[in-house]
Structure 1
Amino acid sequence: MSILITELSQDKRQNHLAFARRSYLSRIGGLTLGYVMVAAVLYQNDAPFWAWVWPALHCFVGPHLGWWLAQRSPRPREAERRNLLADHFFGGLWMVLMQFNLLPCVLTISLLSMDSMAGGGVRLVLRGLAWHALGTALGIALFGWHWQPQSSLLTVLACLPLMVCQPILISYIARKAIQRLKKQSLELRYQSQHDGLSGLFNRSHWEKQVRLEFARFRRHGESAVLVLADLDHFKRINDLHGHAAGDDAIRHFSAALSRVLREIDVCGRYGGEEFGVLLPLTSAHAARDVLDRLRRDLHTKPLLDQALVTASFGVVELSADIPSTEAWLRLADQMLYRAKHLGRDCVVVLGEQNAITVPAPLEVPVVAPAYTSLKALNDPMKLSRLLAGLDMGDVPLALFDPSDRLAVANPAFVKLFAVQPEAVSFGDIMRHCHSRQIGPRIVSDDIETWLRAADAKRRSQAQRNFLVDTCDGRWYRTCETSYSDGWMLLLLFELTDRNPHK
């Protein structure tokens, strides 16, 4: 940590030293022209020899001394500001030597104030004017008060180079500084939007583009496809070949994405070895063709020389029944998990046959559900297939769509889970059960944490069996099965054994 802090302070010091170097170059030019102006006034006033020496030392030695001090200072920017204050102080002295010749004195104050404004803003200008007044007061004490404000033609001509060249020089330096700041701003903007390893958009900026595309679909109905991709067995690559190989795989996969996609397509690194792709004005069928070509390329043009790295893809085309961006992302995530479940190195598209995993039907008659909301499961054939063979008279059963909205629930489920008429989703049902201490027992003080854990388990396994105990002391053997268009919760039977874990 101390090494990092030292490196950061060194970088900051180099930036401050660059500021001092620019001021050093500006000071050399400005004070050289300033001496021409002062010399003209001294010549006009027939000043003694010693009056020429001190301004010469300031104008020709001062810039180099100030740069030397700035180089050796731990805070070069502050050292340069002290140099500017010294210029103000000596400017006040030279004004007295010039016997307050009006044009040179006005130029001296204005140009020094311009330098101070560029170097430190209004505060430094005010400090500079205070030091200027102090130098003037000291000059009057040393050299006496002499008032000759008139300027000869020679003095006016000597002032012209400074009047013309110094503002141009300061403007040039300011322009370079603005260009440098603009470049830094663009770099910072790029860094804030892109992932450093892959060069793709980072997750936050990519999700912003997904939200914009979703809003565009709502307005104009233009088709779009969302893809989540994941490099298969990535941990094994890191373990066997090292993290450098894993980084190379991520970079090469990002390059492969860029090769096969269009300029209007939006790629992002979603996290770790997972990537997101947004395909505007594209159908699911066209997206599959592109991703299949990419998947084949991963075999013919391997990402790594020492290992074959494949990828799995989950694909969802945007449709009117997808209620939100979050639901769209969730569907793509579920399709990606289906691809993993089917053996990886494949493309799974929502609605295609390979995205459906249906358990074998039981040989008992189907009974119509008592609680339905078929906005998501509105295909009678599909619904019949999902419910085929399940006697729902005594077995609690419910179906949920991919965004966890309740689609179908039989009377036994409604009774056991105390489903309210206003309940829309699985989360609504479980929050009600948790708050009223009814239905299934939820061993957690934080229902939102429990819901996230349940969701993670569901996404990681297409089908799982577990035990559920209820608040009234009963136990149920439970089956949870996920499909491409939702998932089913089935409490198979009540256990009579008071110790169900035996």
Structure 2
Amino acid sequence: MPTVTREPAQEALQNHLGFARRSYYSRMVGLALGFVMIAAVLVQIAAPAWMWLGPALHCFVGPHVAWWLARRSPNPREAERCNLLVDHFLGGVWMVLMQFNLLPSVLAVSLLSMDSMAGGGVRLVVRGLVLQALGVALGVAFLGLHLQLDATRWTLLACLPLLVCQPILISLIARRAIHRLKQQSRALEHQSQHDGLSGLYNRSHWELLVRAEFARFRRQNQPAVLVMADLDHFKRINDLYGHAAGDQAISRFAAALQRVLRETDVCGRYGGEEFGLLLSMTSASDAREVLDRLRRNLHDQPLLDGVLVTASFGVAELTADVPTVEAWLRLADQMLYRAKHRGRDCVVALGEDTPSQPGALLPVPTRPSYSTPAALGDPLRVTQLLAGLEISEAPFALFDPSDRLAVANKAFLQMFAVPPDAMSFADVVRHSYTHRVGPRIATDDIEAWLRAADGKRRSQPQRNFLVDMCDGRWFQVFETSYSDGWLMLLLFETQPAAVPASAAVLG
């Protein structure tokens, strides 16, 4: 069944009309009981028949006229406030008609003021009392001033239904209004925290929960895993099958997440076709098993009828080495980019060399390496390698997945004029940019430049480019990313060939 949506103006009109409708029912009951009170006083003072006509029309015809006027008004709420002011004015006239009988007059003032307070606040009450005074003045001018303050027993009994029922009725209407406001508040809170298409948490609220989990880890040191997921070739889906199919894929993927994950796991739509998953009390290996099951589920139950839509996953387990929430998010994001680079439809976890592949049917071939794991496990070989890098004239640096500087030889430290307190690639670049040493960085916004360089590094795990130095030298830069970080190697070029204009900027 299609969902009917209303424009904001129509929604506001319906809300205002609802206020007028509730006042209509309250007015019918209140004025009917008020007529009983007025009639008792008119009987007490032996009023002539013509004096009954005005109160009868006001109490039995007036509510229907007021409701008709509110429905025809472009602003029903304001029309209903005008109706309340009319009630005040006529109430003042009927006080004169009742010769200011004490109990009925006090009830006319207090109960009409109660209605106005509920409908418009203090300002409407003040305006109503002023109009009620004008009604009294007009009544005295036409009917004269007659005082009959004492009330008979029958007049007192006639006032009791209004005295008891009207406050209860107003309280019931106020209670319903408060209940509706609470429902609207909960709906607005849900909308502010959830994505409308997927039903998952939106990015801002999801990141708040990630920060809370990070703080909990700092206090209790309990495991947690962050996963970034992305639907593969999503633009192609939109181009071939339309945006409605893309929306359906997102909605069904969100449902698949909720089916596979635990209730304690937190899912959010990070943006577009990208999703974030927070798995508390979970290790990276356990998360891989869950994500592999989800990935197989996407093959068995396609998100689109007759169309296979796969997903890639990047996994980062929270450890004491992760300094900030932002670094944790970046680690998961980097793993997602590596999953994309390795062919998509797989899971890549931080610190693991072999990603999961579709159906886990075929092993992933590994490229031959000049160093075997056994060789690198030999302390002598590692010492020889580090010694060779240290004396090498080619600047070399190794960074971990959170871009912290892990290893750098003397040539690199001198070229970039790395200060002792530099902890990350960003620290190195900011220092070089500020002091105009090392590579020439042509930009007016170093932070935007760092974000752009990070994006290129994640999208191109292996790349090389030219960079010129502030001292006029040129270097060929080689960057290579792998599961546990990335390295930078610079080779000197005396006469670079055909240098493009963009090569003057590092990265």
| TM-score higher than 0.5 | yes
Sequence identity of aligned pairs in percent?
Answer: 69
Cα displacement string for residues 66-100 of structure 1 (whole angstroms, at most 9, x for unaligned residues): 11111111111100000001100111111111111
Correspondence list, 1:50-199, <5 A: 50-199=50-199
Q: Give the structure 2 partner of residue 425 of structure 1.
A: 424
Quick one: distance in 1 between partners of 2:281 and 2:468?
Answer: 48
Contact 2:390 2:410 in 1 (8 A): no
User: Could you tell me how far apart the structure 2 residues matched to 1:387 and 1:358 are?
Assistant: 24
Paired residue for 1:252? 252
Distance in 1, Cα, partners of 2:382 & 2:132: 88
Counterpart position of 1:315: 315
* Cα distance, 1:55–1:382 mapped onto 2, change above 3 Å: farther
Q: 2:197 aligns to what SS in structure 1?
A: coil
Q: Is the 8 A contact 1:113 1:128 kept in 2?
A: yes
**Secondary structure of the equivalent of 1:353?**
coil
Q: Is the 8 A contact 1:475 1:500 kept in 2?
A: no
Question: How big is the shift at 1:379?
Answer: 12
1:468-491 C-alpha deviation (Å, 9 max, x unpaired): 111222211101111222211111
Q: Which moved more, 1:474-483 or 1:193-202?
A: 474-483
Structure 1 runs not aligned, ≥5 long: 1-5, 364-377
Residues 200 and 267, structure 1, Cα contact 8 Å, conserved in 2: yes
CA spacing shift, 1:7–1:84, aligned 2, 3 Å: same
Given that 2:283 and 2:317 are in contact with CA atoms closer than 8 Å, whether structure 1 keeps it comes out as yes
Instruction: Flag the 1:463–1:43 CA change in 2: closer, same or farther, 3 A.
Output: same
Distance 1:498 1:465, change over 3 A: closer
State the one-letter code of the partner of 1:251. Answer: S
Partner AA of 1:488 in structure 2: L
Please state if 1:16 is matched with 2:16: yes
The Cα shift of 1:380 comes to 7.2
Q: In structure 2, the residue corresponding to 1:258 is in which secondary structure? A: helix
> Aligned partners of 2:249 and 2:491: how far apart in 1?
45
Deviations along 1:372-417, one digit per CA (max 9) or x if unpaired, are xxxxxx9979978997975752111111222222122111111111
Is the CA contact (8 Å cut-off) linking 2:389 and 2:396 kept in structure 1? no
Q: Hey, what does 2:360 align to over in structure 1?
A: none
Q: Is the 8 A contact 1:362 1:389 kept in 2?
A: no
Query: Residues 236, 381 of structure 1: CA spacing in aligned structure 2 closer, same or farther, 3 A cutoff?
Result: farther
Contact map agreement 1:315 1:347 (CA 8 A) in 2 = yes
Per-residue CA deviations over 1:292-346 (Å, capped at 9, x if unaligned) read 1111111111111131000111111111111111111111001111111110101
Change (3 A) 1:418 1:360: farther
Question: Which residue is equivalent to 1:370?
Answer: none
- The one-letter amino acid paired with 2:347 is V
Q: Distance in 1 between matches of 2:380 and 2:166?
A: 84
CA deviation vs aligned residue, 1:220-255 (integer Å, no higher than 9, x gap)? 111111111111111111111111111111111111
Indicate conservation of the 8 Å contact 2:331/2:402, yes or no: yes
Give, in whole Å, the separation in 2 of the partners of 1:320 and 1:72.
Answer: 67
Name the counterpart of 1:408: 407
Whole-angstrom CA distance in 2 between matches of 1:329 and 1:495: 40
What residue in structure 1 maps to residue 284 of structure 2?
Answer: 284
Match of 1:462 in 2: 461
Retained in 1: the 8 A contact 2:353–2:483? no
Give distance in 2, aligned partners of 1:451 and 1:42.
87
* C-alpha distance in structure 2 between counterparts of 1:384 and 1:55, whole Å: 105
Shift of the alpha carbon at 1:122? 1.0
The whole-number CA distance in structure 2 between the counterparts of 1:88 and 1:65 is: 16
Distance change in 2, residues 1:472/1:400 (3 Å): same
Which residue number corresponds to residue 367 of structure 1? none
Q: 2: distance between equivalents of 1:158 and 1:229?
A: 72
What is the distance in 2 between the residues matched to 1:447 and 1:383?
36
Partner of 1:371: none
Task: Quote how far apart the aligned CAs of 1:422 are.
Answer: 1.6
Give the secondary-structure state (helix, strand or coil) at the position aligned to 1:20: helix
Tell me by how many angstroms 1:7 deviates. Answer: 3.0
Rounded Cα–Cα distance in structure 2 between residues aligned with 1:55 and 1:161? 17
Q: CA offsets, 1:90-134, max 9 Å, x none?
A: 111111111111111111111111110110111111111111111
Q: Give the structure 2 partner of residue 206 of structure 1.
A: 206
Show structure 2 runs of 5+ residues with no match. 1-5, 356-363, 372-376, 502-507
Q: Distance in 2 between matches of 1:386 and 1:247?
A: 52
| 2:44 paired residue number | 44
Counterpart-to-counterpart distance in 2, 1:77 and 1:489: 69
More displaced, 197-206 or 417-426? 417-426
> What is the letter of the counterpart of residue 485 of structure 1?
D
Report the 3-state secondary structure (helix = DSSP H, G, I; strand = E; otherwise coil) of the residue aligned with 2:9: helix
Is the CA contact 1:90–1:135 (under 8 Å) kept in the aligned structure 2?
yes
- CA–CA distance in structure 1, aligned partners of residues 263 and 172 of structure 2: 38
Residue in 1 aligned with 2:434? 435
* Counterpart position of 1:448: 447
Q: In the alignment, is the contact (CA less than 8 A) between 2:101 and 2:149 conserved in 1? A: yes
Residues 477, 495 of structure 1: 8 Å contact kept: no
Q: CA deviation at 1:10?
A: 2.0
